[in-house]
Amino acid sequence: MLKEAAGKPEAIIIATGGEVAIAMDAQSALEQKGVHVRVVSLPSTFVFDQQDEEYRNAVLPPKLPCVSVEAG
């Protein structure tokens, strides 16, 4: 996790590399509107998938909506 939401997280923004700054800016804008968003840096989905389920669910709770920011 890169930055926790100011309140109980309502959504998660996942950044995979150079997009972290964009994700942080988006979180700031959403938090100003009262939407609590967690930012997660996930440079390797392979490494993340190798972690135990408890850890993965703590970082990306299954019931929270997620959006990924990636250069394309």
Return the CATH number at 51: 3.40.50.920
Alpha carbon distance, N-terminus to C-terminus of the chain: 23
Count: domains in the chain: 1
How far apart CA 19 and CA 40 sit, in angstroms, is 11
pTM attached to this predicted model: 0.90
What is the average pLDDT across 26-53? 96
Say how far apart CA 12 and CA 19 lie, in whole Å.
14
Closest CA to 45 of 33, 35, 59: 59
For 6, half-sphere exposure in the C-beta direction (CA atoms, 13 angstrom radius) is 11
Mean pLDDT on 42-50? 94
Mean pLDDT of 28-43: 96
Range of the domain at 15: 11-65
Residue 66: predicted pLDDT: 97
